[in-house]
């Protein structure tokens, strides 16, 4: 599935509410040995709530912009299932189809990176697998290798080219890409680089990136010292 193109279309649909109705969440549950679970969550539940507020509750499930995603996911799932170190691939739906979660389990960080390359449709960038995540001893890093957010911006500009006179950066300033890492049997000792939120128990790291907010300095990249 070409997630970048698909997400752009969803964001344009969300614009009818003149508010943020869309959130993308990249969630990694990580074990000490480097294995774990990856999930990509496409969340338009706020749009569902808005429609219900307008008295459209009976039509909500049928009108979900994400309702056809499962058909498009078959090719992606086949690639994931054929990738070394990846297993238990799955697609789940919540909130009457307004939240879609694509997930897979991985055996190590290298497998995680291979799976993410497929999920984000960046296979055409070359034979070398991008290092989205790096884990070496007590160092854990989310790198800036991922150009997915820039792809969204570029394709969105194309989709919105006819919207002359609209301040698109203001209109979609709260549309968020949320990166979250949940550490199992480990904890964060120190944030060495980047701007992230660390939970009180030091086991969850969250980086909220506002895709179209150009006034705020932000980056997906961060480096942690873990124990």
pLDDT of residue 43: 82
The more confidently predicted of residues 131 and 122 is: 131
pLDDT of residue 21: 62
By C-alpha distance, which of 203, 168, 198 is closest to 185?
Answer: 203
The more confidently predicted of residues 110 and 63 is: 110
Would the pTM count as exceeding 0.85? Answer: no
Q: How would residue 41 be classed by pLDDT, with cut points 50, 70 and 90?
A: very high
Q: Is the pLDDT of residue 192 over 70?
A: yes
Average pLDDT taken over every residue of the chain? 79
pLDDT of residue 18: 42
By C-alpha distance, which of 44, 2, 8 is closest to 152?
Answer: 8
pLDDT of residue 123: 64
Q: Order of strands across the sheet with 204-210?
A: 86-94, 99-106, 36-43, 23-30, 176-183, 204-210, 197-198
Q: Quick one: CA dihedral 88, 3, 36, 22, positive or negative? A: negative
């Amino acid at each position: 599935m070409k997630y970048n193109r698909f997400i752009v279309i969803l964001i344009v649909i969300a614009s009818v509410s003149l508010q943020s109705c869309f959130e993308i969440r990249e969630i990694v549950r990580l074990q000490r040995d480097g294995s774990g679970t990856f999930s990509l969550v496409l969340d338009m539940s706020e749009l569902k709530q808005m429609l219900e507020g307008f008295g459209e509750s009976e039509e909500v499930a049928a009108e979900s912009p994400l309702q056809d995603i499962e058909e498009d996911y078959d090719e992606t799932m086949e690639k994931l299932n054929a990738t070394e170190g990846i297993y238990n691939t799955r697609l789940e739906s919540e909130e009457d189809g307004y939240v879609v979660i694509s997930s897979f389990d991985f055996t190590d960080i290298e497998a995680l990176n291979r799976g993410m390359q497929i999920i984000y449709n960046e296979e055409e960038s070359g034979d070398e697998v991008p290092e989205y995540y790096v884990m070496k001893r007590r160092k854990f890093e989310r790198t800036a290798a991922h150009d997915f957010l820039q792809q969204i911006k570029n394709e969105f500009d194309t989709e919105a080219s006819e919207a002359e006179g609209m301040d698109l950066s203001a209109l979609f300033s709260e549309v968020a890409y949320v990166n979250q890492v949940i550490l199992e049997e480990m904890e964060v000792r120190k944030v060495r680089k980047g701007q992230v939120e660390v939970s009180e128990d030091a086991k969850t790291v969250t980086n909220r990136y506002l895709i179209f907010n150009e006034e705020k300095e932000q980056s997906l990249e961060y480096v942690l010292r873990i124990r």
